[in-house]
Chains A and B, each alone.
Chain A
Amino acid sequence: MSDTDRLGAGGWAILILTGLFFAVPLVMTAAFSFWEGGSRYGLEAYHVLLASPKLFEAMALSIELALATVAALVLLLVPAMIFMNLHAPKLRPVFEFIATLPFVVPAIALVAGLSALITGPDWLIGTPFYLVIPYFFLALPYAYRSIDVGIRSIDLPTLTEAAQSLGAGMGQTILWIVLPSLRSAMVGSALLTLAVVFGEFTFANVLLFHTYAVFINEIGQHQVTAAAALSVASFLLTWGAMLGVLVVGRGRATPIGAR
């Protein structure tokens, strides 16, 4: 075996050092959440959190927003991509352009543009569900990528022709043939979207809606230990979602930006 095959001392040193860099903040944060000042440790931060109805409202809102964003992706993006591939492949460059745009336009710039352009009506911008619109674009680049990979791998035209020659209508073909074969791509992007929207801060903070991340920031201003407890919870939640992605999607968990 040649030298380059072996992990070697240098390789292990790099891995152990970075392992520490990644493990230490998590362990310290978990420990910090039990700190009560001085050398006292206890569950005070958790009592404060459990006694705060605003926490549960914020969590519920974030969960609802995450589910609504997934619904928007399934209802708006997935059918448009399927039909584009079937009937209008010439539009592919347009779709590609749109899918890269959220990367070029940072979230904070998009929210600046949205607040400049869209100033009403109140039923739209007055409800927290207005956030589903920017969240849709937040999820768009990687959801597009993963569904595109899914569609390319199934030879869509042949599948639909086969289904239709057997007498299936358009709706039946999509529901029974196309969607099931895109299942792993869709579940993967859905879980990722859930994790990202749940922790999203930029849009919610600027547009003044009380989501989970906004709540963490608020409580962190006067009770850092409680914010630490919620940060650990966030990490575990992200872990859960990613575990789901790795289990369902034989593909990779693509990272996206909600920083």
Chain B
Amino acid sequence: MKAPIAWVFIAAFLVVCAVFLIAPTAMLAVQAVTDDDGLTLQYVATLGEYRYRVAFAHSLYLSLTSATVGVIAGGLIAFAVLKPDAPRLLRVVVTSFSAVAANFAGVPLAFAFIATLGSLGMLTTMLKNIGIDLYAIGFSLFSITGLTLVYSYFQIPLMVIIITPAIEALRPSWREAAENLGASSVQYWRMVGLPVLAPSLLAAWILLFGSAFSAYGTAYALTSGNISLVTTEISAVLSGNVSSEPQVGAALSVGMIVVMVLVLAASHILAARASRWTVKS
């Protein structure tokens, strides 16, 4: 069957992606290594400067910690509400709230936390009134710890949503079999449950890492220059707030893409190793 119109639609989509997604990405790579005189590594070298090393360190630390908090807390919550005797209503409330909270991020989330835990926030003031001065004992919302707390607000529900299907797929018969053979609950998890879940947990962790690493709005509204992250450094270059050349922004962007590709590649290798545990249903 001939269908020229089909090719028009396919071509249109591919052209749009090539021009506005692939070409700009390629442009970053080119821009990062060229100046007026041709090829140069000077901009890539600026990534080694203290300022940008700190930004990458902050971004990586924040992404690692918030992804780990998300995987553990979200995993435990999903596991708890999926237990056979957990109230059905509880399950519905947790899943639907997770869908909302996972998508409630960016600037509104930042201001919700400023209103709660900022230096004039409601909770900060209430705690102060009963004698607990958070900011006097070293807490600040505008620190890496504060950011980790805020990021957890979307990371945990994100994890609940991602991991639920994998936990649901754990078959009760496996646990019964383990119990019949005399395995304790701990032994079941260590030797059956967790190995089977490992690829899904890893994939979820990668997704959470990526969502924190590329987060910009939340950090921008919260830190306003206090803590440098790679994303806020790139935006500072783009908006001309710092006297860096645009090539530095390109080099930083390429740096981010490289991190994401490395993380994805590492996860593929680990997943291939873990997949010997995957059971084909």
A residues engaging B (CB < 8 A)?
1-7, 11-12, 14-15, 18, 21-22, 24-26, 28-29, 31-33, 35, 76-77, 79-80, 83-84, 86-88, 91, 94, 98, 101-118, 133-134, 136-137, 164, 170, 192, 195-196, 199-202, 205-206, 213-214, 216-217, 220, 224-225, 227-228, 230-232, 234-235, 238-239, 241-243, 245-246, 252-259
Q: Return A182 CB to nearest CB of chain B, in Å.
A: 15
Task: Answer whether residue B102 sits at the interface, using C-beta atoms and an 8 A cutoff.
Answer: yes
Q: Contact check: which of A76, A104, A116 meets B257 at CB < 8 Å?
A: A104
Q: Return A220 CB to nearest CB of chain B, in Å.
A: 5
The distance in angstroms between the C-alpha atoms of A257 and B23, with both chains bound, is 22
B residues engaging A (CB < 8 A)?
1, 3, 5-7, 9-10, 12-14, 16-17, 20-28, 31, 73, 76-77, 80-81, 83-86, 90, 94, 96-97, 99-109, 111-118, 120-123, 152-154, 156-158, 161-162, 164-165, 175, 179, 185, 188, 210-218, 220-221, 231, 234-235, 237-239, 246, 249-250, 252-254, 256-257, 260-261, 264
Contact present for B10 and A84 (CB under 8 Å): yes
Q: Return A244 CB to nearest CB of chain B, in Å.
A: 11
Contact present for B111 and A216 (CB under 8 Å): yes
Contact present for B253 and A112 (CB under 8 Å): yes
The distance in angstroms between the C-alpha atoms of A230 and B105, with both chains bound, is 13
15 A–B contacts from the bound complex (CB under 8 Å) = A5-B83, A14-B77, A22-B97, A28-B112, A87-B6, A101-B25, A104-B260, A137-B17, A200-B106, A201-B216, A201-B217, A231-B107, A239-B100, A255-B162, A258-B217
The distance in angstroms between the C-alpha atoms of A77 and B14, with both chains bound, is 10
Q: Return A46 CB to nearest CB of chain B, in Å.
A: 15
Q: A29-B111, A224-B115 are in contact. Are A15 and B253 (CB under 8 A)?
A: no
Q: Return B171 CB to nearest CB of chain A, in Å.
A: 13
The distance in angstroms between the C-alpha atoms of A111 and B100, with both chains bound, is 26
| Residue numbers in A under 8 Å from B24 (CB-CB) | 110, 113-114, 116-118
Q: Using a Cβ cutoff of 8 Å, how many contacts connect chains A and B?
A: 305
Q: Return B193 CB to nearest CB of chain A, in Å.
A: 9
| Residue numbers in A under 8 Å from B116 (CB-CB) | 24-25, 28-29, 32
| Residue numbers in B under 8 Å from A103 (CB-CB) | 210, 260
| Residue numbers in A under 8 Å from B76 (CB-CB) | 14
Contact present for B121 and A32 (CB under 8 Å): yes
Q: Contact check: which of A14, A24, A101, A106 meets B123 at CB < 8 Å?
A: A24
Contact present for B221 and A112 (CB under 8 Å): no
Q: Return B60 CB to nearest CB of chain A, in Å.
A: 13
In the A-B complex, the 7 residue pairs with the closest CB atoms: A113-B24, A106-B214, A80-B13, A201-B217, A109-B253, A259-B215, A32-B115
The distance in angstroms between the C-alpha atoms of A152 and B235, with both chains bound, is 40
| Residue numbers in A under 8 Å from B120 (CB-CB) | 224
Known: A28-B121, A108-B234. 15 other contacts (CB 8 A): A31-B122, A79-B13, A98-B17, A101-B25, A106-B260, A109-B256, A115-B238, A116-B246, A196-B103, A224-B111, A228-B114, A230-B111, A239-B100, A258-B105, A258-B217
Contact present for A201 and B10 (CB under 8 Å): no
Whose C-beta in chain B lies nearest to the C-beta of A109? B253
Q: Chain B interface mostly helix, strand, loop or mixed?
A: helix
| Residue numbers in B under 8 Å from A164 (CB-CB) | 1
The distance in angstroms between the C-alpha atoms of A1 and B185, with both chains bound, is 13
The distance in angstroms between the C-alpha atoms of A111 and B256, with both chains bound, is 13
Q: Contact check: which of B10, B161, B165, B250 meets A253 at CB < 8 Å?
A: B161
Contact present for A259 and B216 (CB under 8 Å): yes
Q: Contact check: which of B179, B213, B250 meets A116 at CB < 8 Å?
A: B250
Contact present for A107 and B100 (CB under 8 Å): no
Give the interface centre of B12, B104, B122, B254 by most chain A CB atoms within 10 Å.
B104
The distance in angstroms between the C-alpha atoms of A113 and B23, with both chains bound, is 8
Q: Return A241 CB to nearest CB of chain B, in Å.
A: 8
| Residue numbers in A under 8 Å from B164 (CB-CB) | 252
Q: A104-B260, A110-B25, A246-B99 are in contact. Are A201 and B20 (CB under 8 A)?
A: no
The distance in angstroms between the C-alpha atoms of A28 and B114, with both chains bound, is 10
Q: Return A163 CB to nearest CB of chain B, in Å.
A: 12
The distance in angstroms between the C-alpha atoms of A107 and B100, with both chains bound, is 21
Whose C-beta in chain B lies nearest to the C-beta of A5? B84
The distance in angstroms between the C-alpha atoms of A112 and B257, with both chains bound, is 12
The distance in angstroms between the C-alpha atoms of A220 and B218, with both chains bound, is 13
The distance in angstroms between the C-alpha atoms of A214 and B111, with both chains bound, is 12
| Residue numbers in A under 8 Å from B261 (CB-CB) | 104
Q: Contact check: which of B84, B94, B256 meets A106 at CB < 8 Å?
A: B256
The distance in angstroms between the C-alpha atoms of A238 and B97, with both chains bound, is 10
Q: Return B84 CB to nearest CB of chain A, in Å.
A: 5
The distance in angstroms between the C-alpha atoms of A29 and B116, with both chains bound, is 6
Contact present for B112 and A76 (CB under 8 Å): no
Q: A28-B123, A201-B217 are in contact. Are A108 and B115 (CB under 8 A)?
A: no
